[in-house]
Amino acid sequence: MDHESEGRGAGDSALLVALQFPGDCLYETEASLAELHSLTENMGLSPADTLLARVRGPSPRFLAGTGKAEEIRVAAENSRARYIVFDNELSPSQQRNWEQFTGLCVIDRREVILQIFADRAMTREAQLQVELARMEYSLPRLTRAWTHLSRQRGGARGTRGEGETQLELDRRRVLARIDKAKALLKKVRKQRQTQRSLRERAAIKTGAIVGYTNAGKSSLLRALSGGELYVADKLFATLDPATRRVRLSAKSEILLTDTVGFIRRLPHELIEAFKSTLEETVLADFLVHVLDASDPHLEERARTTRDILGQIGAAGKPVISVFNKIDLCADPAALRSLAAGYPNPAFVSASSGAGAGELRALIAGLVHA
């Protein structure tokens, strides 16, 4: 993956492709493709065009059939794209086949998200977590970087060419980096466990703020705690958990932790690599689920958050549903009707502070029940 990211520059154009298979919901496919547009921009590429291709079934060579593959190749040529970005997950061999067929750099949604995480990682812990995820993703794809060398094989029959030798060396290097990252993260997890033990001895209730990326989780924590936090209007602005004290009353306070944002089809490598970070959610006494009240895809994104919480073992905890950005909501009446189906709904604007008092009271009622 690194060789593509190093060649990325401002203005690099990309054709975005979503393959719709029989049984796939058209609305969901279109929404996911629109989200890929935003992800690609956050990665630093310029979407030149989008293509939703309906296919009869998965093909082992390209995932799509040869006819659709040619249609996609021509669309990329017409849009003068340097990249083709698939919303679907490609196998290592399919990725190689596409690059040989088109002569372009071809990546999938997982690789885009991994690259954004790499760009956003600021602290040593986040950098280690992202490096581990990227290395595990890259390991079966090393052949992509050395295909040109394997074509230059020479010598007697049965001897190994330069490409194969280099591939073996690179594989050993990547495996060594994976082992090193895992060892360092093990130390980080021990430190985090020590911090948790200290909090547990203090007998203070803890909550974790969860939600879709860019729903306003960090803004909410800043509004409730009054502490300084990095806040930006972009996907995955912060990857590191931030814990702050939040005073509920003169005699009551809690610890709230902001966690990494979720997104549909969050790569399993990232879920595994960010285990120590996500454990803050698993071990919290309650969850604050932040939703963007102005988002037309609010319900699908809430479902994605619940699905990921189930994957990491955090389902079943008491939840406060915070509908953020109410100042941007076009239909407040419809929002309140929708919110009736969510546990413990609260309505706030983290940017203005509206509703923060009511939210504190709701949290107090939950933790002291």
pLDDT 10s digits, 232-258: 666 777 777 788 999 998 788 999 999
Is residue 324 within 8 A of residue 291, CB to CB? The reply is yes
Is 274 in a helix, a strand, or coil? coil
- The alpha carbon of 255 is separated from its chain's Cα centroid by a whole number of angstroms, namely 25
For range 91-105, the mean pLDDT: 94
Q: Which fold has domain 2-118?
A: Rossmann fold (3.40.50)
CA pair distance 356, 158, nearest whole angstrom: 71
**Distances from the Cα of 3 to the Cα of 15, 105, 127, angstroms:** 19, 10, 18
For range 77-99, the mean pLDDT: 95
Architecture of domain 204-367: 3-Layer(aba) Sandwich (3.40)
**Distances from the Cα of 304 to the Cα of 116, 148, 229, 266, angstroms:** 19, 40, 25, 9
Q: Which residue has the tokens 């935003």?
A: 38
Token reading at 124: 């040593």
CA pair distance 21, 29, nearest whole angstrom: 10
Per-residue pLDDT at 191 exceeds 50: yes
Q: Do domains 2-118 and 204-367 have the same CATH topology?
A: yes
Is 103 in a helix, a strand, or coil? coil
Of 127, 93, 82, 91, residue with least CA distance to 111: 91
CA pair distance 66, 57, nearest whole angstrom: 12
CA pair distance 112, 43, nearest whole angstrom: 7
Q: Where do the domains of the chain lie?
A: 2-118, 122-183, 204-367
For 324, phi and psi rounded to 5 degrees?
-90, 165
* pTM check: above 0.95: no
User: Which tens digit of pLDDT belongs to each residue from 269-302?
Assistant: 888 878 777 888 988 999 999 999 999 999 999 9
Tell how strand 345-347 and strand 319-324 pair up. Answer: parallel
Whole-number mean pLDDT of the chain?
85
Tell how strand 105-108 and strand 345-347 pair up. Answer: unpaired
Sign of the alpha-carbon dihedral angle for 199, 201, 202, 207: positive
